[in-house]
Amino acid sequence: DPPSGGPPSGGPPSGGPPSGGPPSGPTAPTPNMSPAPTSVGFVSDMPTLDCPDGCPDCDPNSPLQCPPRDMKAVCDKHNDALYPPGDAREGERVANFRDCYDMCKPSFCCIHDSLSKEYAPSCAQEYENCFLYYPCYIIWWKLHDTIGPATYLRVEQDEDFYNVDFEFLTNDFANDREFFQQLFGHHFDDDNAPTDDTFENEDNW
C-alpha cells in the first residue's frame, strides 16, 4: 500500500500522470542516426547510416530500427567516461539516464505481453530488432521502481547515472502519448485507458 500522505484524488505525488493520458506530442528520435562509439566509450561526431552487424531488420521504414551503436556505452551506469575536450558536450558523462531513456523508448513494447490491441500493444513477437535493445533493462527497472501502485514512481537516485527527476518524466509523458500509454497500459489486457482509480484498486495489484 502507498504510504500515508499519498496522492490526493486525481493523481500520484508531485504531479503524476493525469487521468486519461496526456495530449499527443512528438515521438522519440529515430535511433539509426546516432553516432558510433569509439574504443574508449566516446561517441564520434559522424552519424552512422549503414546497417550494423547483427541487426536483422535494417529497413529505414522498420517500426523498430536498429539501435544506436553507442547504446551500450550510454546505458551502462558503470561507464564513467566523459565526452572529450572539443565535443559539444565536453565534460558530461557519456552514460546517463536521459540519453539512454530516449534511445530505449521505442522498444518498450518489446518487454511485455499485454493483449491490448490499440492502447498498449506488445510487439515482442513481431519486431525483429527487439533483442538488440537489451541494454535498456536499466531504464525499465527504474520506471517500475515504485512505492505501491505503478503510478507512484520513485525515479531519483543518488548515483551519477541517474540525471532524472519526476518533473522530467511527467513532462515527457505529456509530450509522448504513445510511450505514456505503453508504460501505464501494458499492465492490462484491454484497450481501456487506465485512470488513477484503476491503479488504486487493490484488485488490480
Model pTM above 0.85: no
Distance CA 50, CA 34 (A): 11
Distance CA 143, CA 150 (A): 9
pLDDT one-digit tens code per residue, 164-191 = 998 999 999 999 999 989 998 887 887 7
pLDDT of residue 190: 77
Question: Residue 187: which of 199, 175, 202, 170 has the closest Cα?
Answer: 199
Distance CA 18, CA 3 (A): 20
What is the length of the chain?
205
Distance CA 137, CA 49 (A): 25
pLDDT of residue 205: 61
Name 6's Cβ contacts closer than 8 Å, sequence gap at least 6.
12, 13, 148, 152
Measure the CA angle with vertex 170, ends 68 and 111; round to 5°. Answer: 45
Question: Does residue 16 contact residue 7 with C-beta atoms inside 8 Å?
Answer: yes
pLDDT one-digit tens code per residue, 41-74 = 444 443 345 688 899 999 999 999 999 999 999 9
pLDDT of residue 197: 72
Distance CA 197, CA 125 (A): 31
pLDDT one-digit tens code per residue, 133-164 = 999 999 999 998 765 555 666 788 899 999 99
pLDDT one-digit tens code per residue, 79-136 = 999 999 999 999 999 999 999 999 999 999 999 999 999 989 999 999 999 999 999 9
pLDDT of residue 194: 72
Measure the CA angle with vertex 201, ends 196 and 203; round to 5°. Answer: 145
Distance CA 178, CA 182 (A): 6
Question: Residue 66: which of 51, 46, 48 has the closest Cα?
Answer: 51
Residue 9 has pLDDT above 80, yes or no: no
pLDDT of residue 18: 40
Q: Which helix (H) or strand (E) covers residue 37, if one does?
A: strand 35-37
What's the rounded mean pLDDT across residues 21-46? 38
